[in-house]
Amino acid sequence: MDYKDDELKRLVTRFWDGESTLEEEKALKDLVAYGNLPEAYDDLAAYFESMGALSDELTLDSSFDDALLEKIDQSEQTNVRSLVKPRFIWAAAAAVVMAFCFVLFKAPNETPNMAASNQETYSKEELQAAFEQTQAALLLISSKMNNATTHADQLNKFHEATVRVKSRK
């Protein structure tokens, strides 16, 4: 290809500014390869030569895939265990809170005198306040459990992707 000096200068300027298209870059590479570039553009020729040598050096062998899949397997095993435990801890905490609330509010009274003393001890406002506090605690626990479920779902998607990658191997 023969370019006029102003066209060549514009093309080289677009290349160094990062605005050239793939076709324009290929045309510049061809000019360098065939030696049709003026000496004023020796820096461009040196750039393309160094990029060609660098790309020849940067090749991955087949052991790269094996090493990557092994690291994925190792990280997957540790992540699954660490996400599952907090979920059960939150569930156990919720069960304890619910059992405590049940015992506190629904336990049968053993003597009639205890029932009378309980009614005198707690007013309706106090019982309502205790109920609201318990409800807020249970909502907090529920939101934390939902958040853990979201993370577990993301981990499950990641696991499915790694299984697909392994099956294509």
Closest CA to 7 of 42, 53, 41, 54: 41
Structure tokens at 22: 């793939």
**Range with top average pLDDT, 2-6, 52-56, 149-153:** 149-153
**Residue 83 burial by CB count (10 A; 0-12/13-18/19+): exposed, middle or buried?**
middle
Q: How confident is the model at residue 108 (pLDDT cuts 50, 70, 90)?
A: low
| 51 shares its domain with 82 | no
| 36 shares its domain with 119 | no
| 45 shares its domain with 15 | yes
| 36 shares its domain with 94 | no
pLDDT tens, position by position, 28-86: 888 877 776 777 777 877 887 777 766 655 666 677 777 878 887 776 555 555 555 66
| 51 shares its domain with 114 | no
139 vs 38, residue with greater confidence: 139
Report the domain count for the chain: 2
Q: How confident is the model at residue 15 (pLDDT cuts 50, 70, 90)?
A: confident
- Tell me the CA distances in angstroms from 117 to 29, 54, 110, 112, 148, one per residue in order: 95, 87, 12, 9, 43
Q: What is the mean pLDDT of residues 99-120?
A: 63
- Tell me the CA distances in angstroms from 6 to 25, 28, 72, one per residue in order: 17, 14, 53
pLDDT of residue 1: 47
pLDDT of residue 39: 76
| 77 shares its domain with 134 | yes
- Tell me the CA distances in angstroms from 102 to 96, 105, 107, 114, one per residue in order: 10, 5, 7, 17
For the chain, the average pLDDT equals 75
Contact 155, 80 (CB under 8 A): yes
Give yes or no for residue 111 having a pLDDT over 70. no
Give yes or no for residue 90 having a pLDDT over 70. yes
Q: Which domain holds residue 115?
A: 63-168
